[in-house]
Amino acid sequence: MDQPNKSPELDGKDRGLFLLGRQPLVAETPEELLDEATTPISRFFVRNNGLMPEPPANAEEWSLSIDGEVERPLRLTLAELKRRFPHKTFRMVLECGGNGRSFFEPKAEGNPWTNGGAGCAEWTGISLGDVLREAGLKDSALYTAHYGADPDKTGSYDTPSISRGMRIGKALDEHTLLAFAMNGEALPFLHGGPLRLVVPGWPGSLSQKWLTRIWIRDREHDGPGMQGLSYRLPIHPIPPGSDGKGAELRILESMPVRSIVSFPADGSLYPSGTRRIAVRGAAWAGDDVVTRVDLSIDGGATWVEAALEPLRNRYDWARWSASLAVPGDGAYEIMARATDSKGNTQPLRAAGWNPNGYGCNVVHRMTVTVGTAI
Ligand SMILES: Nc1nc2c(c(=O)[nH]1)N[C@H]1C(S)=C(S)[C@@H](COP(=O)(O)O)O[C@H]1N2
Ligand SMILES: [Mo]
């Protein structure tokens, strides 16, 4: 990445983050800064749809209400939530639904993420399901609707910047957290502190930051981010560049399988005569698990299987490593391709084009040069 972050809005963030937008603030992480099992807060990507809300005077008094199709609507402060429900810590991937978008041809609408609209942090909070059981779900409870304290991108509080929701089954998964800490620290304001949702494996847009309300609904939610082509994919492939009108659509839920090479950095040079290159990275697969990662330096003609490290918990990313033999000096394109337990793998060319550019999981390609670059 050749545009280092010099943005005052990203104070405290790694200078290597790549700023995609100022207002709303959007920044992605180059793959080589995702080389740790736990992504440091300083390197974690940022995605706002609106402007930042007012920081609260007292984080412990932040309040969350739960209403709608429940027996007992609740309004609880962060202090009460922390006191009344068991704390859980999981290391889990958070990934923007548009991660990989910039690889679509022709260009799709939206922030041009490469592969760095994702990170894997240690989230501490309470299971949303525990709180929903306390509120008592009615039989009519089918869907959630999430609200945060941030104004939209014009600064108006009249309509939410984004308000998405999920099927109740996902809300009841113990990994779906009301999170108040990240990597052992109080949840940073930029990442939705004092309280946010973390809905692992599904588009990051469900993980509402600055969370103030969860409305339990008797139907699919219809807030901003739930309508039209938002977070929806054509069920049958459509021609790249078409407007998607008339296509049958499904809501993007579990994110597709993806891998990144986090070491070496793209463009790395090795001394002449180098015949083995140590490569490592990460792979993840939405609700599923990665079962293998393969690497190629010859355009996919031959593949070498990487070694996978065990996951700490479900939704953790799989760290992998491999040693690649290079036949001689020269420039090599390295490709990494992950496969999940259902046999889904990554296409060699961006596939599944859609107007808003969701779910692009084309293989990550990067280059290294052994000897003198020509
Ligand atoms: N309140 C609120 N929550 C939000 C958003 C937002 O704009 N406002 N953006 C969503 C999107 S699209 C993503 S990908 C994640 C990004 O989380 P991060 O900024 O902590 O990386 O937050 C989600 N939660
Ligand atoms: Mo996102």
Burial of 305 (0-12, 13-18, 19+ CB in 10 A): exposed
Q: Ligand 1 mean position to 95 CA, how many Å?
A: 10
Residue 174 has pLDDT above 90, yes or no: yes
Range of weakest confidence among 46-60, 134-148, 283-297, 360-374: 360-374
DSSP for 46-107, written as a single string: EE-SS---PPPS-GGG-EEEEEESBSS-EEEEHHHHHHHS--EEEEEEEE-TTTTGGGSSSP
Q: Ligand 1 mean position to 208 CA, how many Å?
A: 6
Pocket test for ligand 1, best of 205, 210, 255 (most atoms within 8 A of CB): 205
Q: What is the mean pLDDT of residues 35-41?
A: 98
Compute, in degrees rounded to 10, the torsion defined by CA atoms 201, 161, 223, 253: -10
pLDDT of residue 3: 54
Q: Ligand 1 mean position to 207 CA, how many Å?
A: 6
Residue 1 has pLDDT above 50, yes or no: no
pLDDT of residue 6: 67
Pick the more confident residue, 357 or 10: 357
Q: What is the mean pLDDT of residues 166-193?
A: 98
Hey, how many other C-beta atoms are within 10 angstroms of the C-beta on 24? 19
SS3 content of the chain, % helix, strand, coil (to 5): 10, 35, 55
Residue nearest atom 11 of ligand 1, based on CA coordinates? 205
Q: Which of 254, 322, 323 is nearest to 289 (CA)?
A: 254
| pLDDT tier at 2, thresholds 50, 70, 90 | very low
Pocket test for ligand 1, best of 45, 93, 209 (most atoms within 8 A of CB): 209
Average of per-residue pLDDT values in the chain: 96
41 vs 183: CA distance, rounded Å: 7
Q: What is the mean pLDDT of residues 199-219?
A: 98
278 vs 23: CA distance, rounded Å: 39
CB-based contact 346:333 (threshold 8 Å): no
Residue nearest atom 2 of ligand 1, based on CA coordinates? 209
Give percent above pLDDT 90 in the chain. Answer: 96
| pLDDT tier at 189, thresholds 50, 70, 90 | very high
CB-based contact 20:26 (threshold 8 Å): yes
Q: Ligand 1 mean position to 319 CA, how many Å?
A: 25
Q: Ligand 2 mean position to 6 CA, how many Å?
A: 22
pLDDT of residue 314: 98
Q: Ligand 2 mean position to 293 CA, how many Å?
A: 25
Residue 112 has pLDDT above 90, yes or no: yes
Which residues on adjacent β-strands are paired with residue 269?
Answer: 369
Pocket of ligand 1, beta carbon within 6 A = 44-50, 94, 96, 148, 150, 161-162, 191-192, 204-205, 207-210
List the domains of the chain with CATH numbers. 8-251 (3.90.420.10), 258-370 (2.60.40.650)
Which ligand is the nearest neighbour of the Cα of 206? Answer: 1
Which ligand is the nearest neighbour of the Cα of 189? Answer: 1
Question: pLDDT tens across 137-173, in order?
Answer: 999 999 999 999 999 999 999 999 999 999 999 999 9
pLDDT of residue 11: 86
pLDDT of residue 7: 75
Residue 23 has pLDDT above 70, yes or no: yes
Which ligand is the nearest neighbour of the Cα of 199? Answer: 1
The letter for the amino acid at 178 is L
